Structure 1
Amino acid sequence: MPSYLVTGASRGLGFEFLRQLSAVPGAVVIGLARDKAATEKKVSAEIGRPNVHVVHGELTDYESLKKAAEDTAKITGGSLDYLIANGGIVSRYSAFKTLYDLADDPKALEEDLLTSYKINTIGQIHLFNLFLPLIKKGEAKKIVALSSGHADYDLIRDFGIVIAGPYTLSKTALNFAIAKYHGEFKNEGILFMSISPGVVETSGHNDPEGLSERELENLGKVGQQFANYAPHFKGAITPEESVRLMLDIINRATVENGYGGTFVSQFGNKQWL
């Protein structure tokens, strides 16, 4: 009877993980969300399966994550098979700007960087540390962090993908944290890996409405850069397709078959689109 904890479970990819995982026979699926009541209501209305549980937790609040780990242990009996660290932030302030575009307001740039790191890196490290005792007692022993193709050095260098600097830097740091944990726990058979969901149709961040002229210019350049990188790319995929592809990788990934400490795409390789 596999057990799963999914962060950022209230919407988008996190909610889709709840939907698909709850269809696994015998699975116990736990979603971590900031608004527990609203997420429970949504789960009841849109999924309607009794094996989905919701616990409160915020990546910026260590004590809430500690309580979430305690609540999870009560649900599962003290163990956890899979931790899917989906929760994170893409700052709308910097998502379509370059680091140099942000130079005119250094204070805002610093705040944006710190917020990105606090949620996308530091919050994830706290999450891993607090849930590792449960993972160690689980059967599958897998911790998977959702990252981004933006954090691939070669993609940036070779194709000039230069927007979303704070997000990119925080996700790169997350990938290195995953590698550090792999180095520490691989001999215990615990899988740590990062995976990119691809370009996904989720609300807000791909919407050009309200963008400045400079941001629209940057967005247009990214579209051309994507075309140069992947001429076959037809646009964003649905959350359903993204989660299905990621779960295929997660289910077959092990320390023994070389996925430990890796950062891969939804295709299981370094093809990001």
Structure 2
Amino acid sequence: MVSWAITGATRGIGLGFVKNLSMDPNNQVFALIRSLGTAGPLEELAAQRKNIYIIVTDISNPTKLDEAAAKVSKVTAGSLDVLILNAGSAGPDTAVLPPSTFHGKKEALDLEIGENIKNNLLSNIYTMNSFLHLIRSGAEKKMIFISSQSGNLEFTRITGFSTLLGYSVSKAGMNMAVTKFATELAPEGIKTLALSPGWVNTDAAKAVTGDPEIRKVMLDMFHKVDPKVDGPAPIEEAVANMLRVIRNLTEADSGKFLTHHGDEEQWF
């Protein structure tokens, strides 16, 4: 059996991973979530598929993460094949502001950067460290960070995407952390990857691009990178593409930041 742990598994891409992977009875799927309060669809799925294990934890708390890893270990006899770091946040309302507008707004800037660093960088490093001993004993030995094209310098430069300051900085920072883990752990055969899902039709994406005017602005920017993009991809399609990249990950690509197509150019 192949064991998978996915953070942020109550909805969106995280739930998409759980749905896809749990269709194969040879997979053990551990859904790491913050609360059962919003986990209705996940619980319904777990009631139908006995290879899904729901674990409530707090990825900002290393002690809670160690406890979650211990729960996984009891099921897998001390191993984990693939860890998918999907949980994250776009941060506070100030995400809509470009960087220059924070002049004279120190508290707002501290919050914009600090909240994103805590949610998208530190929490993911905590998670990787808590589950690393299980990955060391796994067969696949893979740790995957679900990043964003917003954390890519060239994408940002070409599109002119000046907002989402803290989110983009934290994603870019975590991309570097993934590379640091890759260089450290390569002698053990452990592979890491930062992976962009593309533009995906999640609730979070709908909240940003649901307004027709905002959607047009986004498309105008995205067309500078890919003139053919016409909207977000279904979650199922994005997850299938990412799993293809994850399964094909080799030591040669460990530590890279790749798109859901497995390259460094096709962001959509």
Is this a same-fold pair by TM over 0.5? yes
**Which of 101-110 and 153-162 deviates more?**
101-110
**Could you tell me how far 1:38 is from its partner in structure 2?**
5.0
**Could you tell me how far 1:205 is from its partner in structure 2?**
4.1
For residues 70-219 of structure 1, what are the structure 2 equivalents within 5 Å? 70-91=70-91, 93-103=93-103, 105-208=105-208
- Percent identity of the aligned residues? 30
Greater helix share, structure number = 2
Deviations 1:63-115 (A, max 9, x none): 21111111111121110000000011112513332122344532122112111
Aligned residue number for residue 248 of structure 1 = 244
Cα RMSD after superposing both structures: 2.0
Tell me if the contact between 1:36 and 1:54 (Cα under 8 Å) persists in the aligned partners: no
- How many pairs are equivalent? 265
User: Does structure 1 residue 265 correspond to structure 2 residue 259?
Assistant: yes
Aligned residue number for residue 41 of structure 2 = 42
In structure 2, how many angstroms separate the alpha carbons of the residues matched to 1:209 and 1:156?
Answer: 18
Aligned residue number for residue 228 of structure 1 = 224
**Could you tell me how far 1:156 is from its partner in structure 2?**
1.7
**Could you tell me how far 1:142 is from its partner in structure 2?**
0.5
In structure 2, how many angstroms separate the alpha carbons of the residues matched to 1:25 and 1:210?
Answer: 37
Deviations 1:176-204 (A, max 9, x none): 00000110111211111110011111113
**Could you tell me how far 1:23 is from its partner in structure 2?**
1.2
In structure 2, how many angstroms separate the alpha carbons of the residues matched to 1:82 and 1:208?
Answer: 31
The alignment's TM-score, normalised by the length of structure 2, stands at 0.92
Question: What 5-or-longer segments of structure 2 have no aligned partner?
Answer: none
Aligned residue number for residue 67 of structure 2 = 67
Tell me if the contact between 1:79 and 1:136 (Cα under 8 Å) persists in the aligned partners: yes
In structure 2, how many angstroms separate the alpha carbons of the residues matched to 1:241 and 1:95?
Answer: 27
Deviations 1:140-187 (A, max 9, x none): 000000000011111122332211010000000100000001101112
Amino acid at match of 1:225: M
Alpha-carbon spacing, 1:136–1:210, altered in 2? closer, same or farther (3 Å): closer
**Could you tell me how far 1:46 is from its partner in structure 2?**
3.8
Alpha-carbon spacing, 1:203–1:195, altered in 2? closer, same or farther (3 Å): same
Tell me if the contact between 1:90 and 1:116 (Cα under 8 Å) persists in the aligned partners: yes
The alignment's TM-score, normalised by the length of structure 1, stands at 0.91
